[in-house]
Amino acid sequence: MPQMANVTVKAANGTTDVVYTALTPSAGDSIPAKWRVETASAVVAFRPTQSMLAQDTAKKDARKVILRGKYPVSRTINGEVVQVGVIPLELSGVIGLQFTQAEIDEVVMQHTNFCVSTLIRDSFKSGYGPT
C-alpha cells in the first residue's frame, strides 16, 4: 500500500514546482487522502486541493479509485482578492481483482501517460476534443 507523502508537480510554465502538501492520509475504504497547496494563498479556501478515494465496488470484485482536484480561481478586484470560481477535474478507474499486477501496471501507466500527453492536455485547455 502506498504511503502518504507530499506530491510535487510542475506549474504551467514548466519550471516552477508546486508542492501539494499531504494533509490527511486515507484511514481506510471510503475515506479520502487529501493534499493542498499551502503556499497558494493566505486564504485557505483559495488553495488548490486534491483528494483520492479508494473502495470496493458494490460486488466486491473490483477496486474503484477516484482522484479529484479542485482549483480555486481568485482575482484582485478593486483591491480585494475575490474567488471567481472553482475548476474541478476528476480521474477515476475501476480495476477488477481478476487481473495480474503486471496487467494492472501496464494499463495504469499507459492511461496516466496518455492523460499527460500534449494532445490531451491541449484538449483540456481548449475545452474541445481533437478534430
Tell me the C-alpha distance between 121 and 31, whole Å: 29
Q: How many domains does the chain have?
A: 2
Residue-wise pLDDT tens digits, 73-115: 999 999 999 999 999 999 999 999 999 999 999 999 999 999 9
Examine the domain organization and report whether 50 and 83 are in the same domain: yes
Examine the domain organization and report whether 69 and 50 are in the same domain: yes
Examine the domain organization and report whether 17 and 80 are in the same domain: yes
- Residue 69, domain member (yes or no): yes
Q: What is the pLDDT of residue 117?
A: 96
Examine the domain organization and report whether 90 and 129 are in the same domain: no
| Residue 92 φ then ψ, to 5° | -140, 160
Q: Which domain holds residue 65?
A: 7-94
Examine the domain organization and report whether 105 and 88 are in the same domain: no
Element (H, E) at 113: helix 101-115
Name the pLDDT band for 44 (thresholds 50, 70, 90): very high
Element (H, E) at 122: helix 118-126
Examine the domain organization and report whether 108 and 122 are in the same domain: yes
Examine the domain organization and report whether 11 and 45 are in the same domain: yes
Q: What is the pLDDT of residue 1?
A: 81
Q: To the nearest whole number, what is the mean pLDDT of the chain?
A: 96
Q: Dig out the grid coordinates for 72 from the structure.
A: 480555486
Examine the domain organization and report whether 103 and 42 are in the same domain: no
For the segment 109-128, the average pLDDT, to the nearest whole number, is 95
Examine the domain organization and report whether 51 and 107 are in the same domain: no
Give pTM, 2 decimals: 0.91
Examine the domain organization and report whether 89 and 123 are in the same domain: no
Examine the domain organization and report whether 39 and 79 are in the same domain: yes
Tell me the C-alpha distance between 72 and 67, whole Å: 17
Examine the domain organization and report whether 19 and 81 are in the same domain: yes
Q: Dig out the grid coordinates for 116 from the structure.
A: 499527460
